[in-house]
Amino acid sequence: MKIALAQINYHIGHFDSNVLKIKNAIQKAKQKGVDLIVFAEMAVSGYPPRDFLEFDDFIQKCYQAIKEIAQSCIGIAAIIGSPSINPSAKGKFLYNSAYFLYDGDIQYITHKSLLPTYDIFDEYRYFEPFRDVNVLNYMGRKIALTICEDIWDIGDERLYTISPMDVLAKQGPDLMVNIAASPFHYRQASSRREVLVRNALRYNLPLFYVNHVGAQTELLFDGGSMVINRDGEIFDEFNYFEEDFRVYELKEGSNQVSLFYSDFKPEKQKPESKISLIHDALVMGIRNYFQKLSFSKAILGLSGGIDSAVTLALAARALGNDNVKAVLLPSRYSSEHSINDAVVLAENLNIPYDIIHIEKAFKSFEETMSQWFDGLPADITEENLQARIRAVILMSLSNKFGYILLNTSNKSEAAVGYGTLYGDMCGGLSVLGDVYKTEVFDLARYINRSQPIIPEHTISKPPSAELRPGQKDSDSLPDYEMLDQILYQYIELRKGPGDLIDQGYSEEIVSKVLKLVNTSEHKRYQMPPVLRVSTKAFGMGRRMPIVAKYLS
């Protein structure tokens, strides 16, 4: 049996595009003599469609797409993910399903049993869990067909009370197929390998795994589709962050099923570093956000600091230097070296830039408010005013010329509220909102790995918002090395204040940092969508009440 795996970048709700890509892959597979081609979970609709699933019209379009795709399945079978209607009068209206298409029609449907409701997942909101799982028979082989989470509950700490694969294993399958929509974070690739290998070893079966690739707003999918031999050996692993298509031949040996490649020699993926994975994920995230919304040009405020420098470099890589506009917006407090660093970076990237001084606008606002501020000392009000003037200018250029403003706030700043609402926190997409400040520096060094792009002075100088004379971030915050460790322990690992104090951090610093995090929730609630690269990003995967009193 020849089996093809198609790793495709789908677009949520873009049925014409998704169906065309699927049919093209089927035609390609036919030309290679493939018997079975496998696509990802919810391939027809894209993942996650979220509340589109509540519209009857959306579900009907999914079904019509499946029927159209089935017409291409003459002389070849396909496994493909899509929502389907639950015919029972009880339970949720839909299933998360895997269709088996053959001979021009739907021949078999199975459904997802284990529905994740943690982190970014909320599948039980829409789908009914399935219990009556059975193997699929095709060409004399019994296929244990599962959907994503169905094979992930295999560790020592079990989230579910049933195991679909345990049930299927009793039916004597010859191979496993798992179709998935498993989002990226920088540890996901290693976790995925471990889970798939454990399944192959536990059930003593070869495993064919197909994942999504591409970005769906804040959720990024890295691909990494995989084939595992029954002895737990990773036979092949697909490319990350790009579409891929490969064909395998499954042959009967004397005592076991063995895998043979049909038209290529598999090469094992080289282990990627955390920072290189984050870099490539962010580039893909920016590119797909613009492509899928039919945007072409980005704009951002370039300050000479590390965050805007890294954001500009990533945007140039994602969109091309002709499609990115940099605007320098110096104030009376902007240092000459910051302006020079910004200019050098724009020229290194060959990106067009303008310099718009905000002093005139700042003075005008000071004069306008002088009657009400008379006799009061300058404070954070005037600092925020500068940030908001810059935002007004950037959004004006965005409106006039059709740019999309990229937000440059990092995760450390967003965590503790070190940013101005309707100022530097505005934008259409937050590029670094899930990247801690120390990781931003690592990204800068990675970007400079082959040649100097970001000026060394930008990387080495003390971080500063430059909103008052001699200002440094360290005036308001702990050193970023310490701050990021505390934030990681609290946000990603959910450690409480006692745990952090036991680790050696002072009670005063812990109390201050956690209070800043929890009292800044209202700011994060109004941030642009944040590209998710960690295990716990701000946005849909971290749901906190705004008016809570806990640790605030």
Burial class (CB in 10 A: 0-12, 13-18, 19+), 3: buried
Q: Is 148 annotated as catalytic?
A: yes
Domains in the chain: ranges and CATH: 2-268 (3.60.110.10), 278-473 (3.40.50.620)
Length of the chain, in residues: 552
In this structure, how many other beta carbons lie within 10 angstroms of the beta carbon of residue 75?
12
Q: Is 461 annotated as catalytic?
A: no
Q: How far apart are CA 239 and CA 270, in angstroms?
A: 10
Q: How far apart are CA 167 and CA 492, in angstroms?
A: 34
Place of tokens 């002895």: 231
Q: What is the pTM of this model?
A: 0.95
CA 46, 49, 54, 57 torsion: positive or negative? negative
Mean pLDDT per 10-residue segment, the chain (552 residues): 97 98 98 97 98 98 98 98 96 97 98 96 97 96 97 88 96 97 96 96 96 98 96 94 95 62 72 92 98 97 96 98 97 88 96 97 96 94 96 98 98 97 97 98 97 94 79 84 97 97 96 97 97 96 94 88
Contact assessment for residue 324 and residue 405, using Cβ atoms and an 8 Å cutoff: no
Residue of 2, 41, 383, 523 marked active site: 41
Residue of 148, 383, 413, 466 marked active site: 148
In this structure, how many other beta carbons lie within 10 angstroms of the beta carbon of residue 524?
22
Place of tokens 């999504």: 212
Residue of 2, 21, 112, 536 marked active site: 112
3-state secondary structure 286-355: HHHHHHHCCCCCEEEECCCCHHHHHHHHHHHHHHCHHHEEEEECCCCCCCHHHHHHHHHHHHHCCCCEEE
Q: What is the pLDDT of residues 56-102, one digit of tens each?
A: 999 999 999 999 999 999 999 999 999 999 999 899 999 999 999 99
Contact assessment for residue 37 and residue 20, using Cβ atoms and an 8 Å cutoff: no
In the prediction, which pLDDT does 253 show? 58
In this structure, how many other beta carbons lie within 10 angstroms of the beta carbon of residue 353?
17
Q: How far apart are CA 398 and CA 147, in angstroms?
A: 42
Q: Is 90 annotated as catalytic?
A: no
Q: What is the pLDDT of residues 197-233, one digit of tens each?
A: 999 999 999 999 999 999 999 999 999 999 999 999 9
Half-sphere exposure of 334 (CA within 13 A, CB side): 22
Half-sphere exposure of 216 (CA within 13 A, CB side): 26
Closest CA to 418 of 344, 358, 484, 370: 484
